[in-house]
């Protein structure tokens, strides 16, 4: 349900009495964080893992193994092709069955190494190159981070080393650690903060050293008090890192929004967060960095929340990368007439077209929705009645109502030039509240696509 008008009076009162840092507008969503109390548990190996060479934004890795070759868990099977690329490591001990194009969740066909799991395969990582992280600095540290194959685990999957490399044109003074986890259902970041606070701190120290930040702020929504307690207890004594509880409000965890909430700085339109001296990193990414780098291991598994009404055994699973979605859903017991499988949260996560796609570095959650949740789909789409609800919730201060009317008329240039369309990051608040059931976000997505194409062809 939406906004404060639907929340319990006691919760609203609590918020009033103890105001936490926040941002204007946005939504109070039903949290559905039922898996928050379930400890991280391992998922067994699937009989066959499909490990794509491209699980990040950038250039794909180049396979460094041959079909028929035996690989051990942790061994590199693809090497980075340049700076904006990442190596890939074998998530399981087994035999390379094939190197072939495979479908990814986003619809792309990408070269993947298919590994047939050995029956004797166990969870020990058999390949590692431990190093003295305390002595690593500068380009060597960035290189070491690249060697782990780490990509942003919040969803975007941008190569971590490229993000942490200090920008040439700006100085980073603050590292913001994103532990907001504002999407409903998702609790994997919550569990990581609760169970691995030491790894979080280790990762933060490394990241601060890499990007040059003098302070770090961990932003955690106030619906995770136990995680806040665990992190606070693990803070380093020098005071360079602090934990800040922020209001539980969607989309608190969007990078620019969290920067504003925690520092009051507004990233100028069209610029990156380094323009205001800030770097934002997802908390699981940093915890993983804190685990992998000192051990000299590569990224071969990640924690994923598997939840939703269509799941019999929801939970937080530590899943080997390359695990087929079908295997994962079989393991957790899908039920109740699965209608849609969403990767990530229900507000921004894309739906998958096929269950044969593998789990990759950017998969933060798997949400199984049944016909009940999607009942709104049968509602008719009506004309905009200009209720203005979308304007009241847009965290970017846009006028989605006007943008929607312009999109319906195909006036994409006006949308960009006069109504800041490019500032929309598709958080979904406007579509969520729209009583006329207008697919605003989708209209904006199309508008951006067409506009980019047009301006590119104009430039050419």
Partner 1 sequence: MNTTRLELRTTPHIKAGRTVEQIMRAVLLTLVPVCAFAVWQYGLSALALIVTVSVACLASERLANRLRGEASTLGDWSAAITGVLLALSLPPGFPLWMGAVAGIVAIALGKALFGGLGHNVFNPALVGRAFVQAAFPAAITAWVPAYAPGRFAEFIPSTLTPPLMQPPEVSAWAQAAVDGFTGATPLARWKYDGVLTPATDFLAGSVAGSTGETGAVLILLGGLYLAARRYLDWRIPVAVLASAALAAWLFQLWAPERYPGPLFVLLSGGLMLGAVYMATDMVTSPVTPLGVWLYGALIGVLTVLIRYFGGLPEGVMYAILVGNALTPLIDQYTPPRAFGTGGGR
Site residues for partner 1, window 248-267 (CB under 8 A)?
256, 260, 264-267
Residue whose token pair is 């979308």: 390
Shortest distance in whole angstroms from residue 419 CB to partner 1: 7
Q: Which is nearer to partner 1, 93 or 363 (CB)?
A: 363
Contact 178, 253 (CB under 8 A): yes
Kindly tell me which residue out of 29, 36, 90, 172 binds partner 1, with binding defined by CB under 8 A: 29
In terms of DSSP bridges, do strands 174-179 and 278-282 run parallel, antiparallel, or are they unpaired? Answer: parallel
Q: Which of residues 291-330 bind partner 1 (CB under 8 A)?
A: 326, 329-330
Among 108, 442, 452, 455, binds partner 1 (CB under 8 A): 442
Q: Which is nearer to partner 1, 171 or 387 (CB)?
A: 387
If the CB atoms of residues 335 and 454 are measured against partner 1, the closer one turns out to be: 335
Among the listed residues 11, 13, 269, 417, the single contact to partner 1 using CB under 8 A: 269
Judged by CB under 8 A, the chain residues 180 through 199 that form the site for partner 1 are 184
CA–CA separation, 388 and 401 (whole Å):
7
Minimum distance, C-beta of residue 274 to partner 1, in the bound complex (Å): 14
Give me the least distance between CB of 91 and partner 1, in Å please: 22
Q: How far is the CB of 333 from partner 1 (least distance, A)?
A: 8
Cβ contacts of 135 within 8 Å, gap of 6 or more: none
CB 217, min distance to partner 1, A: 15
- The conformation of residue 321, written as its DSSP 8-state character, comes to T
Q: Which member of 2, 38, 234, 450 binds partner 1 (CB under 8 A)?
A: 2
Binding-site string for partner 1 from residue 409 to residue 438, where x marks contact by CB under 8 A and - marks none: ---------xxx--x--x-x--xxxxxxx-
Specify the residue, 120 or 376, whose C-beta has the smaller distance to partner 1: 376
CB 191 within 8 A of CB 218: no
Dihedral over alpha carbons 158, 160, 164, 167 (to 10 degrees): -30
Torsion-angle region of residue 336: left (phi > 0), alpha (psi -120 to 50) or beta?
left
* Interaction residues for partner 1, span 60-119 (CB under 8 A): none
Task: Report the distance separating Cα 439 and Cα 446, nearest Å.
Answer: 11
Q: Which residues contact 10 (CB under 8 A, 6 or more apart)?
A: none
Least spacing, CB of residue 185 vs partner 1, in Å: 9
Q: Which residue's CB is nearer to partner 1, number 218 or number 341?
A: 341
342 in contact with partner 1 (CB under 8 A): yes
Nearer CB in complex with partner 1: 106/122: 106
Using CB under 8 A as the binding criterion, the count of chain residues that bind partner 1 stands at 78
Q: How far apart are CA 160 and CA 163, in angstroms?
A: 5
Report the residue from 268, 456, 459, 460 that binds partner 1 according to the rule CB under 8 A: 268
452 binds partner 1 (CB under 8 A): no
Closest separation between CB of residue 339 and partner 1, Å? 5
Residues near 382 by Cβ (< 8 Å), separated by ≥ 6? Answer: 435, 436, 437, 438
Two tokens at 32? Answer: 């559905």
What does each C-alpha distance from 297 to 133, 159, 247 come to in angstroms?
A: 12, 16, 36
Q: How far apart are alpha carbons 167 and 211 in whole angstroms? A: 8
Q: CB 48 → partner 1: shortest distance, Å?
A: 17
Give the x/- contact pattern for partner 1 in 348-387, rule: CB under 8 A.
xxxxxxxx-----------x-x---xx-xx-x--xxxxxx
Q: Which is nearer to partner 1, 35 or 93 (CB)?
A: 35
Q: Minimal distance in Å, beta carbon 390 to partner 1?
A: 8
**Strand-pair partners of 278:** 174
Full DSSP string of 260-302: HHHH---PPTT--GGGGTEEEEEHHHHHHHHHHHHHT----EE
Taking the complex as a whole, how short is the minimal distance between the CB of residue 160 and partner 1, in angstroms?
Answer: 25
Does the footprint of partner 1 cover residue 272 (CB under 8 A)? no
Bond preceding residue 206 cis, omega within 30 of 0:
no
């Amino acid at each position: 349900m939406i906004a404060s008008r639907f929340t319990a009076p006691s919760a609203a009162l609590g918020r009033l009495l103890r105001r936490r840092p926040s941002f204007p507008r946005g939504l109070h969503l039903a949290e559905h964080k039922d898996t928050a109390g379930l400890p991280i548990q391992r998922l067994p190996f699937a009989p066959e893992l499909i490990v794509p060479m491209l699980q990040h934004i950038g250039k794909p890795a180049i396979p460094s193994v041959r079909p028929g070759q035996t690989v051990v868990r942790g061994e590199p099977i693809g090497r980075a092709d340049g700076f904006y690329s990442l190596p890939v490591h074998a998530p399981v001990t087994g035999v390379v069955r094939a190197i072939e194009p495979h479908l990814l969740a986003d619809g792309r066909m990408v070269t993947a190494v298919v590994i047939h799991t050995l029956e004797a395969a166990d969870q020990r990582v058999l390949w590692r190159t431990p190093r003295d992280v305390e002595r690593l600095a500068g380009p060597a540290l960035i290189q070491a981070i690249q060697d782990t194959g780490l990509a942003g685990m919040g969803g975007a999957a941008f190569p971590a080393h490229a993000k942490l490399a200090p920008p040439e044109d700006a100085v980073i003074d603050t590292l913001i650690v994103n532990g907001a986890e504002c999407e409903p259902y998702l609790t994997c970041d919550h569990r990581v903060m609760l169970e691995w606070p030491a790894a979080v701190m280790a990762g933060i120290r490394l990241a601060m050293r890499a990007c040059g930040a003098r302070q770090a702020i961990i932003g955690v929504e106030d619906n995770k008090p136990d995680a806040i307690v665990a992190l606070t207890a693990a803070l380093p004594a020098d005071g360079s890192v602090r934990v800040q509880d922020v209001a539980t409000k969607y989309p608190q965890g969007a990078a620019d929004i969290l920067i504003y909430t925690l520092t009051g700085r507004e990233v100028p339109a069209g610029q990156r967060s380094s323009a205001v001296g800030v770097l934002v990193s997802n908390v699981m990414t940093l915890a993983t960095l804190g685990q992998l780098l000192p051990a000299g291991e590569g990224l071969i598994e990640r924690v994923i929340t598997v939840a939703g009404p269509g799941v019999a055994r929801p939970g937080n699973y530590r899943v080997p990368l390359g695990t087929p979605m079908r295997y994962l859903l079989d393991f957790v017991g899908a039920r109740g007439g699965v209608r849609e499988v969403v990767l990530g949260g229900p507000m921004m996560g894309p739906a998958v077209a096929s269950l044969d796609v593998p789990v990759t570095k950017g998969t933060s959650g798997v949400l199984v929705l049944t016909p009940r949740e999607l009942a709104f789909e049968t509602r008719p789409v009506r004309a905009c009645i200009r209720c203005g609800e979308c304007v009241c919730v847009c965290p970017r201060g846009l006028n989605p109502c006007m943008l929607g009317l312009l999109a319906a008329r195909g006036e994409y240039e006006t949308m960009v030039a006069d109504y800041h369309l490019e500032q929309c990051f598709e958080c979904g608040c406007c579509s969520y509240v729209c009583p006329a059931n207008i697919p605003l976000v989708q209209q904006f997505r199309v508008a951006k696509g067409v506009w980019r194409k047009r301006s590119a062809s104009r430039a050419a």
